[in-house]
Structures are given as C-alpha cells and as structure tokens.
Amino acid sequence: MRYKLLGKSGLRVSELCLGAMTFGEDWGWGASRQESKKMYDAFRKIGGNFIDTANIYTNGTSEKFVGEFLRKDRDEVVLATKYSNSTNPDDPNASGNHRKNVKRSLEASLKRLKTDYIDLYWIHYWDFMTPVEEVMRALDDLIRSGKVLYIGISDAPAWVVSRANTMAELIGWSQFIGLQIEYSLVERTPERELLPMARSMDIGVTPWSPLGSGVLTGKYNKNKKSASDGKRVEAIKDMMSEDYANRIVSDRNLEIAREVLNIADESGKTPAQVAINWVRQKPGVMVPILGARKLSQLKDNLGCLDFELTHDQMDRLNKVSEIKLGFPHDFLSSEEIRRITLGNTYSLIDKK
C-alpha cells in the first residue's frame, strides 16, 4: 500500500479507501459484525488507513462497528464520515446541509464512533436549499472547534464546489480537500465538469462504485439468462428494481464489461481488479472506495495493487466506454472553432 496527499492538504491517505456502507445487516443485506471486523483487519494489515462511513449507513450500525474496530489504533486511521441525509423523516431540520443539522449530526456520529474528532467530514448530498456561505462558515467553525480536521463534499455539482472553495479561499475559511463522486467505466459523466474542476482546484477524488454496481465484475455477462433476449431484467429482478436494472445492466454496460473480462483473461487478473485499476490510473488524485460484503471480495479487490494496466489496455477500455462531453467541450475542441479562435498556430504550441 502506498499513500497519497488528499487534495490541497498534507493529509496522507492510503491509495485505496475501505468503504463501510456494508458494515451491518440492518438493511437486509451487508456484513455481520464478525465479517466486518475481518475486512477491517485485512485492510489495516496491508497498510490501509482510510476508512469511509456515514451517519445513515445501516441505521448507524456502520459507525458503531467502525468506532469499535479502530479503538486501539484511532490515531493511525484517517476516519471519514458524512452528514446530510434525513435521520427523522418527520422533522424538516433533521436533514440537509444547514448549521443546525450539521451540529446535531456530528455530535451523534462522535458518540457512535466513540471518538472526539473526525479526520474528514463529508457533506453527503447537496440540498440546494442552504446558502453556500452558511455551509462553509458552519464547517469552518467545526474545524476551529477541533471536532473536525478536514472537510469534503460528495454528490454535488461542480459549480457548487468551485463556488464554495473560492469563497472559502477569499475569506480565509477551510476549503474542501476531497470530492466523492460515482465514477467508473460505466459512469464517466464526471469527466465533463467534476474531474476537470478537481484537478484545477487540487481536490482529491474518492470515487464510489468503481465496479459499476457490480456489472463490471462480469457476473451479468456470464449469466446465460441475461443475454440480449429481453429477459435480462427478469433474471436480476430479485436483486434490484426494474428501473435500476435497465440503467445498470444495459447493452452498453455489458459491452464494456465484456472488454473488462477480455483484459482480465489476458492479464491473469480478475475483472474487479481491472475495473478498479482503470479508475486508479486516471489523471489526478484518485482513491477508489472499496465496498464489499465478504472478506473474499475485499481481498480480491485489494489484488489491484499488484499490477498496472498497460497503455494499450487503458486505451481499449477508454474507447469502449467513451462518452460525448457535450456542449461546450465538443464545440470548443472542434477543428473549426480552434482555427477560428487560435488561428493556424495551435499545433505549434506546446500544451501543459
């Protein structure tokens, strides 16, 4: 295990993050306390120090398990948790990004985690209601109190993040050092705005679902009932909703998964390892979040550390999963517009 500086900070995090959303069985799936402890110990044994959870995961059980597991090595672990989601559906102030909810959520998380500080505190979802200045001032106050060391933001538009960090920089408040987003071979839309913004503003990225909700493991390609005969959704309806199945297990995604399987066979690696390494080898500070329900799955995922994809393999995966960036990116990168805006010297200029 190697380590990376997370964004514009001196915080050293392991190159992989252990996601604890699966810790606990309260939601009808997930890992038992015993299995969760095995995964935690295996991650720590190889040098992993970055653990990610949230106040709502498995109704708080995830935080309780994590707090119990890291008790003896608290100072060595970079502990990340989140707030924003509703903890009481009938209370309008028990959700959102505002000051009242962040104070209440943090105190509850500290109790469950049995710690007096959080290393990295994430906004879980942007609520589109709370003013940016209220959010950034409230989070800065938490850092000044010593209960939070760093802040990050998850699942938010690029314009929100860039505005928030620019405001914080000008005023002298703490800035987001981490950006948590869905990113994988089957979900590349963050390449339009979020990832360029993160690289430009020196924000570390922790992608969730690097296996594309499991489709990149190839398990749906190998299921004979999931061929393109209209029965694919029926074959997996016991695992996910029909709408979700249609989106995740689409013909496009299965084609991407086939190329992942091909490269895995050529390399003597598993599809999961190939898919995770594609994310790890993308530009910028990329720290994929690994979520597993069993120790065997986690160990398989950790095997991605033993190799790198070749340039040819990266190119093949990039090509099969390519998306259109849309306006204004495709418009501005067209030869005609480049000629109009930059004249005849574009090809003579050395770009960074």
Which residues span the domain enclosing 93? 3-348
Specify which residues 14 forms β-bridges with.
3
Residue 140 CA to residue 149 CA, distance in Å, equals: 10
Domains identified in the chain, total number: 1
Segment 327-345 mean pLDDT: 91
User: What mean pLDDT do residues 41-54 have?
Assistant: 98
Task: Note the pTM of the prediction, 2 decimals.
Answer: 0.92
Residue 55 reports pLDDT greater than 60? yes
Q: Which two tokens stand for residue 347?
A: 């090809």
Local confidence band at 224 (pLDDT 50, 70, 90 cut-offs): very low
Q: Residue 240: pLDDT band by 50, 70, 90 thresholds? A: low
Question: What is the per-residue pLDDT for 222?
Answer: 79
Residues catalogued as catalytic: 57
Give the CATH number for residue 223.
3.20.20.100
Q: What is the mean pLDDT of residues 24-31?
A: 95
Q: Evaluate if residue 284 carries a pLDDT over 60.
A: yes
Mean pLDDT of the chain: 94
Per-residue confidence band for 23, with pLDDT thresholds at 50, 70 and 90: very high
The full DSSP string for 100-163 is: HHHHHHHHHHHHHHT-S-EEEEEE-S--SSS-HHHHHHHHHHHHHHTSEEEEEEES--HHHHHH
CA atoms within 13 Å, Cβ hemisphere of 251: 4
